[in-house]
Structures are given as C-alpha cells and as structure tokens.
Amino acid sequence: MRFNTRYPTMAATRRSVTIRGREYPVFLLTIRDPRLHVAAVLLTLQVLGQTVLNFRLSISQILICLATGALIEFGYGFFKDKVIMWPASGLLTGNSTAFILRVPGTSHGDWLSTHGIWIFIGVVAISMASKYLIRWRGRHIFNPSNLGLVLAFVVLGPRYTDPQDLWWIPMGPWMLVTYAILIGGGLFIAWELKLLGLELGYMAAFALFVALALAPVPDHCMIASWYATPICGDQLGQILVTSPEVLIFAFFMVPDPRTVPDGQAGRPGCVTAPCDAGPTCCAYFHSAPPP
C-alpha cells in the first residue's frame, strides 16, 4: 500500500476496510506523532482545570468541541479522500478551542452545562473549515483553532465570549504543578518538532514588546476579573510575560508545523509579532477595558 502524503504522521498500515465494494485504507495514529503529545499535555491541564484550577468550563463543552472536530475531520477523510483515519487534528482543534474559549454565564463546577454550546460548535466548525478551504501550495495558512477563536472574540465580543483568563489561580503547589507540565511538555514538543528556537524567540520578543509598550506609561494599569485590585507598572509586565495563557499560545499554538515557514529566513516574522491577532492579544483587550 502506498503512503498517503495527506496524512504524513499517520501509520501507513496494510489494513483496509471494504464498504459497499470500495476499499478504504486505514490510517492510525503513532505514538511518535507530536499531536498525541500536545493532546496529552492539554488534556492533563483540562483535568487540572476541572478540579483545582477553577476553569469556567464544563465537561460537556469540552466533549462537544472534541466530537465536533473529530466528526468533521473523519467525515472529510472518509468522503473526500476515501480513507478511514484517526482524527488527531480535529481532536486537537476541538481541545484547543475548549481550552481557550469561555462563554459568560458558565461557572466552575457546572460540569454538565451546555450553556452556549452553539458557540463552541460554531468556532470548531469554522476552525476546521479554514484548514480545508484557506490553503496555499497544499498547506493551510492559519493555525485552525487560532483563527476560529480570534473571529469569535472579534465578531461576538465579550457579551457572548471570553478568552481563558491570563492568570488562573494564585501561585501555590497546584500552580507550580501546572507550570511544570506546561513548560516541560512545551519544551519537549518544541525540541521534538525542531522549533525550540522559534518558541524561545517568541517569548523573548513578547517580553521585549511588553517592556517597550509599558515604558512610556509606567503608571498604566489593567483591571481584570481574576485579580482583586488594578494591576499596574512592573507587576503588569511580569504577569503578562509569565501568564500561563501566554505560555499556552507560545508552546502549543505558535509552533504549528504546517503553518510555520519551512526556511529559517521566514521565521523571524513569526516571533517579532507577539500580538499577531492571537487569542492571547484578545484576552488582554477583553480583560483590560480603557481607564
């Protein structure tokens, strides 16, 4: 059986399934697939979010996102490419969407809530559609969930959507565990993808841009629902740079192998635009109304 280049990280098994006289090759996920490793980190953080990190997200909302992404990718592969495949990218897009997107009115502990479920389904569907419809030279241009989330935050606004908070819980044992999983997993996956320089460059550029932006206005403050008092000056810069949400964006959304430039010459542009219409930037503007 010839290897299908549309699924380069899938195992080229010799298995196939015959349905109504047509043979469908079966493509399964391998343990070496980086998407599996990303999913493991995000799912671990989702479990922490449902237990100790106080995520305003229900288990039902997570499962709906996963199912929507998986069904779209599986259906596309089955009907368009005539293959049966494990929908790794669809699951990852659904997981990323559920991790970042919040719908006002959902509280931590409402595990079975389907509040705003149409928003979650719509964002995942638009994200997956962008992967198949907005392409250049056989590759999608945007990180799918990144594009879908940005559109949701801009079009629907804070009445219907919120990004995940820049900061989750006060620093303590569980936050240290979260940092260890996030940073350890992110660095391992970046090394695996040979994109460690890109990620570290992004974080360095982000820190520089934050410092330059705050330098002329040292008394600038941000008001956030997750902090009791206004956040000002050096504290604001520190919180922005060390935010776990910024780390999620840096480690798991910036280094999409299918959207990162192949050559080293094109990669500086990816790290010199720290607020390149990403959900992290939207989180800042949602959390920081003008004084």
Residue 181: predicted pLDDT? 96
Q: Considering only CA atoms, which of 236, 246, 233, 244 is closest in space to residue 275?
A: 246
119-158 confidence digits (pLDDT tens): 999 999 999 999 999 888 777 788 888 889 999 999 999 9
Write down the pTM of the prediction. Answer: 0.83
User: What is the identity of the amino acid at 179?
Assistant: Y
Q: How confident is the model at residue 6 (pLDDT cuts 50, 70, 90)?
A: low
Task: Give tens-digit pLDDT for 165-202.
Answer: 888 888 899 999 999 999 999 999 989 888 888 888 88
**Bridge-partner residues for 206, per DSSP?**
none
Question: How does residue 263 score in pLDDT terms, banded at 50, 70 and 90?
Answer: low
Spell out the alpha helix ranges (H) of 104-194.
Answer: 117-133, 144-156, 173-193
Enumerate residues 6+ apart whose C-beta is below 8 A from 114: 58, 60, 61, 64
Q: Is 20 left (phi over 0), alpha (psi -120 to 50) or beta?
A: left
How would you class 164 by CB atoms within 10 Å of its CB: exposed for 0-12, middle for 13-18, buried for 19 or more? buried
CA distance 11 to 265: 32
